[in-house]
Structure 1
Amino acid sequence: MKILVTGTAGFIGFHLTKKLLQRGAEVVGLDNINDYYDVNLKYARLEELGIKKEEIEDNKIVVSKTYPKHRFIKVDLADSKNIDELFKKEEFDAVCNLAAQAGVRYSIENPHAYIQSNIVGFLNILEACRHNNVKNLCFASSSSVYGLNKSQPFKTSDHTDHPVSLYAATKKSDEMMAHTYAHLYGICATGLRFFTVYGPWGRPDMAPMLFADAILNNREIKVFNHGNMSRDFTYIDDIVDGIIKVIDNPAKSDSNFDAKNPNSSLSSASYKIYNIGNNAPVNLMDFIQTLEKSIGKEAKKNFMPMQAGDVESTYADTTELIKTFDYKPNTKLSDGIEKFVNWYKNFYKYK
């Protein structure tokens, strides 16, 4: 199977690409390597996949030095011409679209970046799939789509019509666009609503790395909503296992869909949405305590009010993923944090 993974220099994309290559798939990785966060981390991930920084040029295929079945191309999703040419040349069997402009808070500062990447870019992927007969599409959504919904755990049958950030609104839009293409053109589209992914090679703008950096450098950590928050922290290996199950089993239409009484988790199109999380939310203060224990140092805490665009808690109902794929994350928070801290200290050269 030849698979396109977009966002392959990103956190989840890197881990997914590595796992797919290890199981023998042919993978073309795509990323624009933008500077939303430290590009050196992105280049380091690519080097782990056998792609040297000095070989990378815009719109040029680079062959991995480590994995013979891995090639990489630097291109922006919003570049419809080069995206379409890539699809025509490669004839992919499947596409996993993880590339996006990430970050809830940054969407308040730079909304245009989200429209270009998450809306225009995703449309280009859908169009390329349509015109190049790619029927198997998996794409990243987000738990952020639940917005103002207070009913927990979050179920895929819940309404998601009240987003509280533009980032969430673009992810909701992606789901609707994918459903349309599944209905009109028979693309088998599966969206995954990720819940707070953490682990080695993570994103510097997310809590684990922000907290680890502050603790190790004797700075305060910002504890929003005065610590009254919880997240469904999910270890990266568990997330990747779920993504691969979805890639291996393209979405199908659901005969239980009733057009007169529609359930938002079902469809007559070959389309499906899953929550992918740990199904076990952790209080923010408990998370911080686990991190402190692993690092061996107490954090200096600055308790602050809730930030705009944020939500108090996330909690995934993963019943559908369990029922369909027998999927259940099994990494304990303490074990996952230990692996993350060991990687962090090694990568950033802390003794």
Structure 2
Amino acid sequence: MTVLVTGAAGFIGAYTVRALQARGERVVGLDNYNDYYDPQLKRDRVAALCPDADIRVLDLADLDALTVLFDEVRPERVVHLAAQAGVRYSLTNPHVYVQSNLVGFVNLLELCRHRGVAHLVYASSSSVYGDSATPPFSEDQRIDRPRSLYAATKAANELMAYTYAQLYGLRATGLRFFTVYGPWGRPDMAPLLFSRAVLEGRPIDVFNHGRMRRDFTWIDDIVAGVLGALDHPPADTPPHRVFNLGNHTPVELERFIAVIEQAAGRPAQKVYKPMQPGDMLETMADTARAKAAFGFEPTTSIEAGLPRVVDWCRAYFG
């Protein structure tokens, strides 16, 4: 069966394509290679992780082009990872989030519905919990008080997918990712941002004066969760489920920086700043539901993962 992976040149996308190919799936990807961060990193990521992948250059907001692709490829399953990412960027560039995360998602839902896709797995985010939930975040907690437009679009995706499941029987699974990191990761996120800066002797901005905790989740653990969810479509009525994919182990920001310092062999130049608009003080995933449904159980600590990120940054960025 053919699996369509959107955002295939992205961080989680390229690793997912590689994992699907490794188990013998026919995979077709799409990505618009936008310039939110350097498109060359995306091209290099694909060349390193899935060089023989069939990845089409296409924007989800282009319904006509997306329809042509669906009719050519006829995917039985879709892993939807494409989105305009970033909490802080959404404060200054709201319209790109509407086009990619809302218009693009409706286009995808419509084609999945009309072309008989058996299972849609789509990326949500831990950001949806906003001010409504208390750690550990469980899927049953409210998500109606987002702290950013990005979070609001992801919460909207969950509501939209539920509606299509309820109205049309489209089987859909949403995955709330918790701060995913690893080699070839996003350069705007703290693991790469801090690692590069410490290696290069540049200062890092430490928001809320370091009083923050994040549930950092290793990329291989996340991909195992994506494939586990894909292999276990919902049998509920309506056929829609949401899962947390996180490490269930929040890490103090200062400890996170200390691990990077040790791996880099030099101290960080820390510039302490107040809390940024849109940020959350703490994230922590309750992963019991994903474990029960498909055996999701992360195994990688930051002490094991972060040095590999630092080594990759040293090699890739010089």
Secondary structure (helix, strand or coil) at the match of 1:301 reads strand
Task: Find the counterpart in structure 1 of residue 30 from structure 2.
Answer: 30
1:338 equivalent in alignment to 2:307: yes
Alignment check: 8 A CA contact 1:78 1:124 kept: yes
Task: Find the counterpart in structure 2 of residue 55 from structure 1.
Answer: none
Alignment check: 8 A CA contact 1:252 1:272 kept: no
Supply the distance in 2 between the matched residues of 1:239 and 1:300 (Cα, whole angstroms).
Answer: 31
Supply the distance in 2 between the matched residues of 1:201 and 1:49 (Cα, whole angstroms).
Answer: 9
Report how many aligned residue pairs link the two structures. Answer: 318
User: How do 1:70-89 and structure 2 match up within 5 A?
Assistant: 70-89=53-72
Supply the distance in 2 between the matched residues of 1:205 and 1:50 (Cα, whole angstroms).
Answer: 22
Supply the distance in 1 between the matched residues of 2:68 and 2:34 (Cα, whole angstroms).
Answer: 21
Secondary structure (helix, strand or coil) at the match of 2:155 reads helix
Supply the distance in 1 between the matched residues of 2:167 and 2:2 (Cα, whole angstroms).
Answer: 24
Supply the distance in 1 between the matched residues of 2:242 and 2:133 (Cα, whole angstroms).
Answer: 20
Structure 1 pair 248/309, CA: closer, same or farther in 2 (3 Å)?
same
**Mean CA deviation greater in 178-187 or 222-231:** 178-187
* Cα deviation, residue 187, structure 1: 1.1
Aligned residue identity for 1:27:
V
Q: Which residue, 327, 339, 344 being the options, matches 2:296? A: 327
Q: Which runs of 5+ in 2 are unaligned?
A: none
1:152 equivalent in alignment to 2:121: no
**What does the per-residue CA deviation read over 1:289-334, in whole Å, with 9 as the maximum and x for residues that have no partner?**
0111111111000000000011101000011011111211001211
* Cα deviation, residue 125, structure 1: 0.6
1:276 equivalent in alignment to 2:259: no
* Cα deviation, residue 50, structure 1: 5.5
Alignment check: 8 A CA contact 2:245 2:285 kept: yes
User: How do 1:37-186 and structure 2 match up within 5 A?
Assistant: 37-49=37-49, 51=51, 64=52, 70-186=53-169
* Cα deviation, residue 149, structure 1: 2.5
Supply the distance in 1 between the matched residues of 2:22 and 2:118 (Cα, whole angstroms).
Answer: 24
TM-score (norm 1): 0.89
**What does the per-residue CA deviation read over 1:158-212, in whole Å, with 9 as the maximum and x for residues that have no partner?**
0111001000000000000000111111111000000000000000100011111
1:291 equivalent in alignment to 2:257: no
Aligned residue identity for 2:282:
S
Rg comparison, structure with higher value: 1
Task: Find the counterpart in structure 1 of residue 11 from structure 2.
Answer: 11
Aligned residue identity for 1:308:
P
Alignment check: 8 A CA contact 1:251 1:270 kept: yes
Q: Which residue, 192, 202, 205 being the options, matches 2:175? A: 192
Q: Which residue, 184, 191, 206 being the options, matches 1:208? A: 191
* Cα deviation, residue 135, structure 1: 2.1
Task: Find the counterpart in structure 2 of residue 260 from structure 1.
Answer: none
Supply the distance in 1 between the matched residues of 2:200 and 2:307 (Cα, whole angstroms).
Answer: 18
Percent of aligned pairs sharing the same letter: 51
Aligned residue identity for 1:249:
H
Alignment check: 8 A CA contact 1:203 1:209 kept: yes
Alignment check: 8 A CA contact 2:165 2:171 kept: yes
1:304 equivalent in alignment to 2:279: no
Aligned residue identity for 1:21:
Q
Aligned residue identity for 2:298:
P
Supply the distance in 2 between the matched residues of 1:287 and 1:217 (Cα, whole angstroms).
Answer: 18
User: How do 1:220-235 and structure 2 match up within 5 A?
Assistant: 220-235=203-218
Secondary structure (helix, strand or coil) at the match of 2:175 reads strand
Supply the distance in 2 between the matched residues of 1:242 and 1:112 (Cα, whole angstroms).
Answer: 31
Q: Which runs of 5+ in 1 are unaligned?
A: 52-63, 65-69, 254-267
Supply the distance in 2 between the matched residues of 1:179 and 1:295 (Cα, whole angstroms).
Answer: 45
* Cα deviation, residue 150, structure 1: 4.6
Structure 1 pair 242/220, CA: closer, same or farther in 2 (3 Å)?
same
Alignment check: 8 A CA contact 1:92 1:134 kept: yes
Structure 1 pair 50/201, CA: closer, same or farther in 2 (3 Å)?
closer
Supply the distance in 2 between the matched residues of 1:74 and 1:189 (Cα, whole angstroms).
Answer: 25
- Provide the alpha-carbon RMSD of the alignment: 1.0
Secondary structure (helix, strand or coil) at the match of 1:221 reads strand
Aligned residue identity for 1:25:
E
**What does the per-residue CA deviation read over 1:210-245, in whole Å, with 9 as the maximum and x for residues that have no partner?**
111211121110000000000000000000000000
